[in-house]
Structure 1
Amino acid sequence: MKSILVPYDFSKEAEYALQLAQEFAAKAACKLKLVHVIEIPTTQHFNTIGEVTLEDSYVDKIFMTEMVEKRKEQMKALEELHREKPYQFSTKILYGNPYAGIASEISEIKADLVVMGSKGSSGLEELLIGSNTEKVVRLSKCPVITVKQPIHTERIKNIVFASDFSENSKKVIHELKDLQTLLGAELSLVKINTPNSFENSLVSKKNMKAFIKANDLTNVKVEIFNSGSEEEGILEYADDVDADMIAMATHGRTGLMHLLGGSIAEDVVNAAVRPVWTMKFK
């Protein structure tokens, strides 16, 4: 792990994410970058030299100017706080759409991990627009850890990896294996059996043992858990074993396919209290 990105909006959840990312950066001796995106009002346009011009009232322009200056001061203060840390720390302010800014920064710094706060969303809000966190989870090229509560790396000793252990799972397990090694954690592999997606236990165990052998996994255990749905089963099993983190792969569907099929990973990110590690199939 060489580079960690933290999208930061000054919320308490973002602060929890930053604290966790600091501990990861110290353990891995890697770069840590914090990015803050300032959303430009929808009544914007660009002048001939590319500057953003607000068409709102004079009061709105003053408010935006003051907010930008305040954020610059806050970011500078954060840089000062991290000056003597055992990792390289930097900050950046972007303007515009939050998801687009975060995605651009992931690519620019070739991030190996994104750690971000999440408030979760549900119901109509989730159906219509989702959250920036959901979009990053769905489309990020690197693993994403979402955080809702304070968590420290020394407390992450049991990671639940929920999967069907198909070929797609093999595309993300090596990244999760690196995290497991960094944390010295046990990996609990769980197959969720549901009425609509039932698999014989003997078949499941055979596939899981083959998965362990093929990927040279150690400090690992396997479990088959029955539930009404995949999402419920993952959350219930994590509660049952008092897991410290949930890990999943996500298909990264967009548009109509996402609207029709949804994403179990995004649903778990929204509902889980525990931190959730996700990675899109490559």
Structure 2
Amino acid sequence: MTKVLIPFDFSEQAQNALQFATNLSAKFENVQITVLHVIEVPASSGMGTMGGGEAVPEYENQMFFIELMDRRKQQFRDMETQYAGNSYAFNTKIVLGNAFQNISSAIQEENPDLVIMGSKGSSGLEEVLIGSNTEKVVRTSHCPVVTVKAAVDPTNFKKIVFASDFREDQDELAHRLKNLQKWFDADLYLVIINTPGSFETTRESAARIKKFAAKYEIEHAVAEIYNSDSEEAGIVEFAEDIDADLIAMATHGRTGLAHLFTGSIAEDVVNHAKRPVWTFKTK
């Protein structure tokens, strides 16, 4: 059975992620979708939802909290009724606590094959100092994560961009990537972004892509070298230029000071790309 986890905060982006997941899952048999909502309890005395709901007054206002819980439970019961009778199994779950910690715990406990979640993106100081729950999940999840912003129909996907430098052996990543391509029955564009700071000849780049495709027996693939000022900008620009449906990338999942100083190209792309992004944390 293929297990899909959807962190859900009732925002427009979460609704888009849910629709993405159900549309895609309807194509296959033995898929289980679990929709997870976290009613967040910050360290302070206040309470708030996972990010897409109304702000909650002080914890002492027990009546408001009870009403919120009842409303969310009813919304999930309505959702279960709405999605009943499909080819996939559909479950919902509500938990209390910190959003990111509970999503991470669910990933560990449920061991999903894929996480699909909405993203509003972020920029500037918020992106550098805080980030989002989506960004943190991308950085730490042991399974692939698809981030969705706008409403899109994945059953019509035909072009996937996979950006890499293709320098390392990536057995697990290549296996996941081939499964992703099979899921969508799409062409795969293998692209190296050539920047002024890491320039190399087209011949060198093309040789590495060709070696990668041959080693992992990737079919229906197109090799591309794209010039840009930065890797993140080049990936987004290339995907826009060919009107790609999905961007796929690996992330090294750096945390703490290592992440603060080096950043993450994958997280930058998740924040800035308008189209869905598939990420997988490599070891």
So what's the TM-score if we normalise by structure 2?
0.92
Counterparts of 1:125 and 1:62, CA distance in 2: 33
Q: Percent identity?
A: 51
The answer for the alignment partner of 2:282 in structure 1 is 281
What does the per-residue CA deviation read over 1:180-208, in whole Å, with 9 as the maximum and x for residues that have no partner?
11211000000000011112211111111
Distance in 1 (CA, whole Å) between partners of 2:96 and 2:199 is 47
Q: 2-side partners of 1:127 and 1:166: how far apart?
A: 28
**Correspondence 1:134 to 2:132:** no
CA contact 1:160–1:188 (8 Å) conserved in 2? yes
The whole-number CA distance in structure 2 between the counterparts of 1:254 and 1:63 is 36
1:180 paired to 2:203: no
- Residue 25 of structure 1 and its aligned partner are, at CA, apart by 1.8
Shift of 1:169: 4.1
Which amino acid in the other structure matches residue 27 of structure 1?
K
| Matched residue, 1:65 | 66
Alignment correspondent of 1:202: 203
Per the alignment, in what secondary structure is the counterpart of residue 257 of structure 2? helix
Report the counterpart of residue 24 of structure 1 in structure 2.
24
User: Contact (CA 8 Å) 1:163, 1:169: kept in 2 or not?
Assistant: no
Partner of 1:159: 160
| Aligned partner of residue 92 in structure 2, secondary structure | strand
Unaligned runs of 5+ in 2: 47-56
Counterpart in the other structure of 1:51: none
Displacement of 1:41 in angstroms is 4.2
Cα drift, residue 43 of structure 1 = 3.9
Query: Normalized against structure 1, the TM-score is what?
Result: 0.93
Structure 1 Cα separation of the partners of residues 226 and 76 of structure 2:
45
Q: 1:29-86: CA deviations, max 9, x gaps? A: 21111000000143459xxxxxxxxx9464x222111111110111111111111111
What is the deviation of 1:166? 2.2
Number of residue pairs matched?
A: 273
CA offset digits 1:118-164 (Å, max 9, x no partner): 00011111122110000001111101010010111222100000001
CA RMSD between the two structures: 1.8
Establish whether residue 2 from structure 1 lines up as the match of residue 11 from structure 2. Answer: no
| Paired residues for 1:30-109 under 5 Å | 30-43=31-44, 56=58, 58=60, 60-109=61-110
Aligned counterparts of 1:166 and 1:100: Cα–Cα separation in 2 = 33
Q: Is the 8 A contact 1:43 1:56 kept in 2?
A: no
CA contact 1:118–1:147 (8 Å) conserved in 2: yes
